[in-house]
Chains A and B, each alone.
Chain A
Amino acid sequence: MLEALRAEGITVRFGGVTAVDHVSLTLKDGEILGLIGPNGAGKTTLFNALTGFVPAGEGRITLYGQDVTRDPPYQRTRAGMGRTFQTERPFEELTVLENVLVPAFLKTKGRHEARALALEMLDQVGLADRAEQPALDLNLARRRRLELAKALAVRPRILFLDEIMAGLNPPALREMIGFVAGLRTQGLAIVMVEHIMQAIIELSDHVIVLASGKMIAEGTPQAVTSDDRVIEAYLGTD
């Protein structure tokens, strides 16, 4: 299997605080990597360093063998990364369809092709009937799905999902888990930051646990959740 992503010794410092401390990881095509850890562990910072939204002070990131360490986010998108945002960021003044048109223009020629791709993505996430609605009017669960459609419309090879399960009610959560599982079968590599353990356990092939910016454990979901250091990081010791 192709190596989709390799990160070596990623370190991010904010002033005197080391938010991410020498973290390394690899991800293969069609694999799902779960990123967990208590609040403030540096998950989102690592996530942003991988996608280019926060510069990594040290380390090296390669995407299908191509070094993207110094590339700004839009170049990483062009190289094959797609991402969602933890707080959904729809283009509020645009309709749902126009929101997906923006990324759809990246890998298509002309507006008819872009429109067809955008509609296809909306259909995939179940928002096709809301195409003409102003994005501002969508509820949380639908905004999440819009985020997904936008991330998928750049035709990524690796998808970065930032807490897309958070705040969903049980039926919506089930649906989302099923959807992400479906993406894997299409051959996408996925990195997901998630607090919902049900999703992590059902979906991840491999899990990395961060605490205070350091990787404290990694392995299969079952191995990691029974690891003493992980339980300690989440619950503390007496």
Chain B
Amino acid sequence: MIRHFTVLGIAVLAGLAYPHLFPNALTIAISVLLFAGWATSWDILGGWAGQLSLGHAGFVGLGAYFVAIGQSDYGLAPWWAMMLAMIAAAALAFAWGRITFGLRGPYFTLSTIAVAEILRMIAINEGWLTGGATGVFIATLPEPFGIDLFSRVVHFHMALAFSVLTVAIVIIISQSRFGYQLRAVREDESSAMAAGINPVVVKLKAFMLSAALVALGGGIYGIFLSFLEPHILFYLFLSIQIALTAIIGGRGTIWGPSIGALLLIGSGEIFRAAFAQANLLIYGLLILVVILFLPRGIFGEIQRRAVRRRYARSTQG
């Protein structure tokens, strides 16, 4: 645990230096950090608890819309709006999980697609609340302690804080009782029950925490975009991207989702600039390579080899 927090500390220092070193490459870094945070949060449910969600874009949209509507319609400061969004996301996850966690296999996944779609339909059709298909625009934001929330550097720091928070939470979970309950439920529900674990409760907790954290990142995303369109925010492609980021990086590992974000989102942006349309092809090839040769994801394979090597060394002595 100390080792992981040390790595995280170094990452924070690197992150704080970044805006000074690359002041013209902030936008891509913000994307990478937001995706790292979303994928890490997604992974609490998708990787650690093993419940594949393809609806997490819904929570991104929830966070972003709470901030935008809160600001434009109610004059609510973004930090309060984000807190409300987290509560709303957790409540939605609770309600949805109650209904669907009795289902096994792909049914939960299918239902998550439906949730995000329902939210998208509400965002598009309930124009009185959401601005409809044209979207919402954040025209003004408060200036806490003189900080300009429209500044890219501020967005970068918010995204950095978000991703660091999610990783820190996962580091703590990984060593805790809850973390072992999550893994037990993922590996074998019957055996988990024999260990005194109620699988539905464990999955609900994971879903609620995962949803609330993604909504927090969604709020930051809303401030970063300042113009919200329902087609982008609740879109299935965003859900898939979040899930893929975690899967390719390594499900159920501390660093996998962040590595996935660096690789997929970071390289994705570079490829898009360099190869235009061919970037999707490269994206696809990358996914294929990981699935074929690194089924546990990049960090997942590294970690597994390390465990085996450590054990082999300990028996040779």
A residues contacting B by CB (< 8 A) are 51, 53, 72-74, 77-78, 82-83, 85, 89-95, 98, 101-103, 105-106, 111, 114, 129, 132-134, 150-151, 153-154
Contact = CB atoms under 8 A, between A and B. Distances in A.
A73 B189 CA distance: 11
For chain B, give the interface size range.
Answer: 20 to 34
Nearest to B177: A105
A91 B184 contact: yes
A85 B183 contact: no
Where chain B touches its partner, the secondary structure class is helix
Nearest to A93: B187
Contacts, number: 84
Contact of A85 (B181, B186, B190): B190
Contacts of A73: 190, 193-194
Interface of B: 175-177, 180-181, 183-184, 186-188, 190-199, 252, 304, 307-308, 310-311, 314-315
B194 A151 contact: yes
A51 B186 CA distance: 21
Contacts of A90: 191
Given A53-B190, A89-B190, A114-B177, 16 more contacts: A74-B192, A74-B193, A85-B190, A85-B194, A90-B191, A91-B183, A93-B187, A93-B252, A94-B187, A95-B307, A102-B183, A102-B195, A103-B195, A132-B310, A132-B311, A134-B308
18 contacts: A73-B194, A74-B192, A74-B197, A77-B194, A91-B183, A92-B187, A93-B186, A93-B187, A98-B183, A102-B195, A105-B177, A106-B196, A111-B176, A132-B310, A132-B311, A134-B304, A134-B308, A154-B194
Contacts of A92: 187
A74 B198 contact: yes
B202 to A, nearest CB: 10
Contacts of B183: 91, 93-94, 98, 102
